[in-house]
């Protein structure tokens, strides 16, 4: 899964110890630094400088970084289960993403600040009208079996992904204005993309697609064949072995084009839950793992660990509403519920303070995001009540729960009640009782239910839900990546032609300022109609042992450090 980072600014609410609270809060440091960011102005990339503040949560004093050294094994804790596949076109989940990120390469990849850096492609250029994009592949890019990476490999991979009948899970929209993108191999190391119209997101999309070796993949059925058990890639590491349920090992690829990675080996250790991972981290059986904010107090005071907020903070949590559900079909009701939401309570109750309130559809990482004035009032119970009265929900019998009086499509007297569900007990379950308590104050009798993903998925896919709590994230800078959430079969049953027009316009436009205007307009519509009620941007944290360092200290960028820059990881001792 791709993680974008826009280190524009981060701030934490209520960071210091709360008086009277006996449970220790981890110490936090705020650091300012300057980074370079690539912005596209009128079709050409430009580099600008930005100052950002970064937050580091410290559980002990970090040692000064030593010089990078070669050798050693890094053991990564993986808590999302075994990778479900080792084939890059079928990988859409977190776990296989972590592993395959060390084995395979992209054409371009994300760097700090969300800028795109060369990976397989050394340089690239757009044609004047933006309809052609040419990539120049490195001369020294080779597969770990010695064969060179060629344009044929790129074309093979991308055309495979364009196949509409394919059951692959890692699909992106490789078409624009209704036409699939054409690919041409200009020479062995040069690929040209020919598009029907200019396509703003195309570079970002290429930073999310691994390239496969054509000569090793079965063209008829890429999901069959030895490549799926023994993947061969062009990345800094090579696949060694996979002990199901236990560990997966990769070792340094001596022929990697930049230079051999510092580490000898990376071992991904499968651990069933984050809770079980913490003792393993403390005992040194793993070197790093992602932890939840609720686990921070446990790590407090451990002198061997450093905890950093995972800058993948563009994960957003929201309530997704089925806009065709009878009670929630009126946008006034949705607005009322939004105004009756006290986000502070969620931030403390669910994430222990490690989250920021959100009232926009796009996340902070998207380049079009800005701290805009909300179009609706902040938390205001009375205003919410007024809106509900206006929508025809009044409490005439004095039992504290409103009933319908003159609501279209519902009989008079129908109680103001619906069900809020979620598919992830651990992650979003805690939001439900809070919603229940908060919305009771405006006369809603909210029923809540926590379901397993399978059961929840069935209800949601059949549009039988009223509202569910969920989240999305790591879309990065490119707003077009959110398009998938608003497609034909979206779970909010929200189909607004004006919004769809805006999506298409945003894809065709290349100048970022103009694009931003388009997405801003979209944001206003979403804020008015509220098919989702955004709650917060939550943080997760990376807990690592001191011995793990990333070269170019401070390059703890998006998501799991080892996915994108694994060649820069090193350990300070064996």
Partner 1 sequence: MTITDTKTKGQVAPLNKAKGESQWLLIWRNFRQHKLAILGSVILLVLFAMAIFAPVLAPYDPDEMDIKYSRGAPQPPTIEHPFGTDEFGRDYMSRTIYGAQISLSVGFVSVGISLVLGILAGVLAGYFGGHIDSTLMRIVDVLLSLPSLLVIMMVNSYLEPSIFNTMLAIGLFSWMGVARLVRGQFLSIREEEFVLAARCIGVGPVRMILRHLLPSSMAVLTVAATIGIASAILTESGLSFLGFGIQPPTSSWGSMLQSAQTFMRTSWWISFFPGLCIALAVLSFNFVGDGLRDSLDPKLRHR
Partner 2 sequence: MTRYVIQRVVQIIPMLILISILSFVLMRLAPGDPARFFLDPEKAVEPEKLANIRRSLGLDQPVPIQYIRWLGRVLQGDLGYSFRSRVPVAEEIFARLPNTVKLGLAATLLSLIVAIPVGTISALKQYSIFDYLSTLFAFLGISMPNFWIGLLLIYIFVGQLGILPAVGTESIPAPTDAWARFVDSLKHYIMPTVVLGMQSMASWARYQRSSLLEVIRQDYIRTARAKGLCETTVLLRHALRNALIPLITLAMLSVPRLLGGAFITESIFSWPGVGRLAVHALYTRDYPIIQGITLMSAALVLLANLLADILYAMVDPRVRYD
Q: Which residues bind partner 1 (CB under 8 A)?
A: 18, 21-23, 273, 275-276, 292-295, 297-298, 300, 345, 348-353, 425, 429-430, 432-434, 437, 448-452, 454-455
Q: Considering the complex, what minimum distance in angstroms separates the CB of residue 290 from partner 1?
A: 14
Looking at 39-47, 271-279, 360-368, 550-558, which segment touches partner 2 (CB under 8 A)? 271-279
Exactly one of 162, 414, 417, 490 binds partner 2 (CB under 8 A); which one?
490
> CB-based contacts of 357: which residues, under 8 Å, 6+ apart?
343, 344, 347, 535, 536
286 binds, among partner 2, partner 1, none (CB under 5 to 8 A by kind): partner 2
- Rounded to an integer, what is the distance from CA 354 to the centroid of its chain? 17
496 binds, among partner 1, partner 2, none (CB under 5 to 8 A by kind): none
Q: Which is nearer to partner 2, 39 or 166 (CB)?
A: 166
In Å, the largest CA–CA distance within the chain is 79
* Cα radius of gyration rounded to whole Å, the chain: 25
- Determine if 159 is a binding residue for partner 2 (CB under 8 A): no
Q: Which is nearer to partner 1, 45 or 430 (CB)?
A: 430
484 binds, among partner 2, partner 1, none (CB under 5 to 8 A by kind): partner 2
- Determine if 425 is a binding residue for partner 2 (CB under 8 A): no
Exactly one of 423, 541, 565, 570 binds partner 2 (CB under 8 A); which one?
423
Q: Which is nearer to partner 1, 226 or 272 (CB)?
A: 272
Interaction pattern, residues 45-84, with partner 2; x per rule: CB under 8 A: ----------------------------x-x-----xxxx
Interaction pattern, residues 452-471, with partner 2; x per rule: CB under 8 A: xxxx-xxx-x--------xx
Q: Which of residues 90-119 bind partner 2 (CB under 8 A)?
A: 92-93
487 binds, among partner 2, partner 1, none (CB under 5 to 8 A by kind): partner 2
Place of tokens 């790590």: 299
Exactly one of 44, 259, 273, 375 binds partner 2 (CB under 8 A); which one?
273
Asked whether the beta carbons of 297 and 25 are under 8 A apart, the reply is: yes
**Secondary structure class of 168 (helix, strand, coil):** coil
Looking at 5-13, 44-52, 132-140, 482-490, which segment touches partner 2 (CB under 8 A)? 482-490
Size of the site for partner 2 (CB under 8 A): 60
- Rounded to an integer, what is the distance from CA 548 to the centroid of its chain? 24
Place of tokens 């937050």: 55
Q: Considering the complex, what minimum distance in angstroms separates the CB of residue 538 from partner 1?
A: 12
Residue 79: which region, alpha, beta or left (left: phi > 0; alpha: psi -120 to 50)? alpha
Q: Which is nearer to partner 2, 114 or 473 (CB)?
A: 473
Q: Which is nearer to partner 2, 95 or 293 (CB)?
A: 95
SS3 for 303-331, per residue?
Answer: CCEEEEECCCCCCEEEEEECCCCHHHCCH
Nearest to 446 by CA among 473, 468, 419: 419
Q: Is 408 exposed, middle or buried (0-12, 13-18, 19+ CB in 10 A)?
A: exposed
Q: Which is nearer to partner 2, 406 or 453 (CB)?
A: 453
> CB-based contacts of 28: which residues, under 8 Å, 6+ apart?
12, 15, 16, 55, 56, 57, 58
In order, the DSSP letters of 394-461 are E--SSSSS-EESS-TTS-TT-BSEEEEEES-HHHHTTHHHHHHHHHHTTT-EEEEEE--HHHHHHHHH
Q: Which is nearer to partner 2, 289 or 387 (CB)?
A: 289
CA separation for the pair 123, 137 (Å, rounded)? 7
Q: Which residues bind partner 2 (CB under 8 A)?
A: 1, 73, 75, 81-85, 92-93, 164-167, 169, 171, 223, 228-229, 243-247, 267, 269-273, 276-277, 279-280, 282-283, 285-286, 423-424, 452-455, 457-459, 461, 470-473, 484-491
């Amino acid at each position: 899964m791709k993680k974008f980072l826009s280190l524009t600014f981060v701030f934490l609410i209520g960071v210091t110890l709360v008086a009277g609270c006996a449970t220790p809060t981890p110490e936090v440091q705020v650091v300012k630094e300057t980074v370079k960011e690539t912005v596209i102005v009128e079709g050409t990339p430009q580099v600008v400088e930005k100052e950002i503040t970064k937050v580091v949560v410290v559980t002990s004093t970090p040692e000064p970084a030593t010089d990078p050294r070669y050798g050693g094994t890094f053991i990564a804790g993986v808590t999302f289960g075994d990778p479900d596949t080792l084939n890059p076109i079928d990988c859409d989940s977190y776990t296989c993403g972590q592993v395959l990120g060390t084995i395979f390469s992209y054409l371009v990849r994300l760097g700090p600040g969300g800028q795109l850096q060369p990976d397989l492609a050394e340089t690239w250029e757009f044609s004047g009208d933006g309809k052609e994009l040419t990539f120049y592949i490195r001369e020294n890019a080779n597969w770990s079996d010695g064969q060179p990476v060629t344009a044929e490999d790129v074309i093979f991979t991308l055309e495979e992904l364009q196949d509409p009948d394919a059951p692959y899970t890692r699909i992106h929209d490789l078409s624009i204005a209704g036409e699939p993108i054409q690919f041409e191999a200009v020479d062995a190391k040069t690929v040209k993309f020919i598009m029907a119209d200019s396509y703003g997101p195309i570079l970002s999309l290429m930073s999310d697609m691994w390239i496969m070796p054509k000569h090793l993949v079965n063209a008829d059925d890429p999901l069959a064949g030895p490549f799926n058990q023994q993947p061969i890639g062009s990345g800094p590491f090579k696949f060694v072995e996979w002990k199901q349920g236990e560990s997966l090992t990769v070792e340094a690829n001596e022929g990697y084009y930049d230079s051999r990675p510092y580490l000898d080996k990376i071992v991904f250790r499968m651990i069933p839950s984050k809770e079980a991972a913490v003792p393993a981290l403390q005992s040194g059986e793993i070197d790093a793992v992602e932890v939840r904010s609720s686990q921070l107090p446990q790590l407090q005071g451990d002198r061997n660990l450093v905890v950093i907020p995972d800058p993948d903070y563009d994960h957003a949590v929201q309530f997704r509403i089925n806009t065709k559900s009878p009670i929630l079909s009126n946008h006034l009701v949705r607005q009322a519920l939004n105004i009756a939401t006290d986000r502070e309570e969620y931030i403390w109750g669910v994430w222990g303070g490690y989250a920021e309130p959100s009232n926009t559809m796009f996340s902070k990482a998207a380049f079009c995001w800005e701290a805009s004035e909300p179009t609706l009032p902040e938390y205001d119970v009375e205003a919410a009540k007024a809106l509900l009265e206006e929508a025809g929900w009044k409490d005439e019998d004095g039992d504290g729960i409103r009933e319908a009086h003159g609501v279209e499509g519902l009989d008079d007297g129908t109680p103001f009640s619906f069900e809020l569900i979620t598919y992830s007990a651990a992650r979003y379950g805690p939001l439900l009782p809070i919603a229940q308590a908060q919305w009771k104050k405006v006369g809603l009798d909210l029923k809540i239910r926590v379901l397993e993903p399978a059961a929840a998925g069935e209800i949601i896919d059949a549009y039988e839900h009223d509202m569910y709590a969920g989240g999305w994230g790591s879309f990065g800078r490119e707003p077009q990546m959110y398009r998938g959430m608003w497609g034909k079969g979206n779970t909010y049953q929200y189909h607004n032609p004006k919004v769809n027009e805006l999506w298409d316009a945003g894809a065709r436009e290349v100048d970022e300022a103009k694009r931003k205007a388009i997405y801003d307009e979209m944001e206003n519509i979403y804020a008015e109609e509220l098919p989702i009620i955004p709650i917060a941007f939550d943080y997760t944290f990376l807990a690592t042992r001191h011995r793990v360092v990333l070269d170019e200290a401070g390059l703890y960028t998006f998501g799991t450090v080892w996915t994108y820059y694994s060649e820069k990881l090193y350990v300070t001792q064996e």
